[in-house]
Amino acid sequence: MGFTECNGDFYGATSKHIYKRVDGATPTWQEVFYDPNETNATGIRGLTAVPNPSGTGQVLLFRSSDMIRHIDPSSNFKVTIEVNLNAIMSVKLGATVVYSLCAYNDFLPYTIPGTGEKVYLFGGEFAYPTSVTSTNPDKRVFMAPGTVTYAAEGYYLIRYDDQNGISNELKEVKDTSLPILVSVRTIAVSPFPSDNGKVLYFGGFDCNSQPSHNTGWIYRGILKSK
């Protein structure tokens, strides 16, 4: 599901495990995290090394079982839950969210031009119970087989780690002409010098086992000054 380097060591994530590579003439892999509740189809996502919020060095940031967590290699791989995605997204979206898949590939490091503030960007998809359309008729959804239905919007979040602690701000890729975006799968900072770090590219859609055609999308967004 992902690889990253953290504090000079190499880590890999699978559906339910995170392993550390033990170097040597015959390298081995040491299990450092296991989530028995994660599903094989979703897996541990977004494995990324980020600055330690409570110390020096780096921690491993990732998503598993609808939670954003980090583990600290310098503290015997202590696990910290940063946020319950279903809980905060239920509040932010105004309806019960029962499933959250975010950071499909990684948490993207981004330095905000002008302020120099360092944040992490990550997209995802969020699911409601199928009953949401009867209790919240204003909600736009993407129907898929099963017991849940997916928010039609393309949502992403900005992770802050500052003097106020860790927080996550919800943002949306908006296009009234194409309302079914479903999922922000990947985000990239424009590499073109003329964009001066102020342009982001977003790509997405997730069919969620539903036959789909001409549904993948890419948008270009320009950072607005506050």
pLDDT bracket for residue 55 (50, 70, 90): confident
How do residues 108-152 score in pLDDT, each as one tens digit?
999 999 899 999 999 999 999 998 988 888 899 998 878 899 999
Q: What is the pTM of this model?
A: 0.94
Element (H, E) at 63: strand 58-64
Cα separations (Å) of 133 from 139, 143, 212?
6, 10, 21
Neighbours of 58 (CB within 10 A): 21
Q: Which residues contact 23 (CB under 8 A, 6 or more apart)?
A: none
pLDDT band for 224, please (50, 70, 90 cuts). Answer: confident
Distances (CA, A) of 84 to 129, 187, 200: 17, 22, 26
